[in-house]
Amino acid sequence: MKKSFFLAALCLMNVALIAEDYELRTLTFEDADAQFPPYTLDYANRTISTWSDLVDDAQYNGTLTYTAGGVYTWCDAQNTLLTHSFTAPYWNGGHAISNFTNPGFTNNDLPANTAWYEVQFATLHGGNNGSKNFCVHNGHVDDYNSAYTTCQTIAFADGKARVIDHMYVTNICYVLNSLVYGDGYNPPATDTTTFHIVAIGQDANGHEISRTTFALYNGKDSLLTDWQKWDLSVLGEVNAVTFNIVGTLDLYGQWGLNAPAYFAYDDVAVRFDRNDTALPNLSNNSTHNSKFIIHNSQILILRDGKTYNIMGQEL
């Protein structure tokens, strides 16, 4: 008996020690938590100082997300180090910051003279846990479109592998309407229909090292309308995570997936080693006297004729 108590106590001590090996840093997309230096998206003449600055003026055909050739970029530079960029227009795929909501997903909930794709950035309830901002993923790859498109990815800007502990996900109203009621491309989902996100962990060379899935729709009794936590720690240490959208055959047609390949995510938590000496710190770079530019989808710092990356390392 004493041996059993000793082993149980030892296990609890080991769990406690493991839990203390890292701290969680969370990407919330909220302005109060904006931890990046201001930068400019030149193609839109837009200075980005807060996460809300990345919310486009319109959900469809807006300047930030639909100016052809513009590189929409965000980076949680002084917190989780997660970053993403895509080349507009957004219909080719991307991760766009949003704070749009819609009261429902029935056809009666659609604003007059509006198509569902024109409210593609809207969730039912805003961000997770009553917050304002969140991010909307668009994009998928299947056998039909793999020759001309790629999946969308979030990565660590410093190139170091870390564990993404979890994120919160939900459906957007556009997807909910398409799955429940069908549209001109997609038939209504059935009791046997499934619609999943696939998260693919990648190493520094972009090779797959792990994957996990999350159900956005798993039959009519399992339709995701609220925010739910998705455990991504099962991916292990990754340099990047690429997301794809897959469904059962009833959601596909001659030209591939007919259902909108979207989902919303928020509150992305990353494990940082407490002894990590590479934690971002831009305070030594005199950021108030610096200029931040986008080059090859990376945020660079220009100061005193020199160029630095977001870790403050001279290039």
So what's the pLDDT on residue 46? 95
Structure tokens at 171: 């459906």
Comparing CA positions, the residue from 165, 189, 161, 162 lying closest to residue 175 is: 189
CA dist., res. 132 & res. 113, Å (int) = 26
Q: What one-letter code names the amino acid at 278?
A: A
Give the DSSP per-residue string, 77-95: TTTT-EEEEEESPGGG-EE
Note the pLDDT tens digit of each residue in 9-27. 445 444 444 456 899 999 9
Structure tokens at 243: 């997301």
Comparing CA positions, the residue from 154, 139, 142, 152 lying closest to residue 260 is: 139
CA dist., res. 35 & res. 157, Å (int) = 14
Structure tokens at 126: 């805003």
Mean pLDDT within 217-242: 96
Structure tokens at 237: 């240490």
Note the pLDDT tens digit of each residue in 264-298. 999 999 999 987 755 544 444 444 455 566 666 56
Does the structure show a pLDDT above 80 at 75? yes
**Given 3-state DSSP classes, what are the helix, strand and coil percentages for the chain, each rounded to the nearest 5?**
20, 35, 40
Does the structure show a pLDDT above 60 at 249? yes
CA dist., res. 33 & res. 227, Å (int) = 20
Domains of the chain: 23-284 (2.60.120.1350)
User: Which residues contact residue 130 at a Cβ distance below 8 angstroms, ignoring those fewer than 6 apart?
Assistant: none
Is the pTM of the predicted complex or chain greater than 0.85?
yes
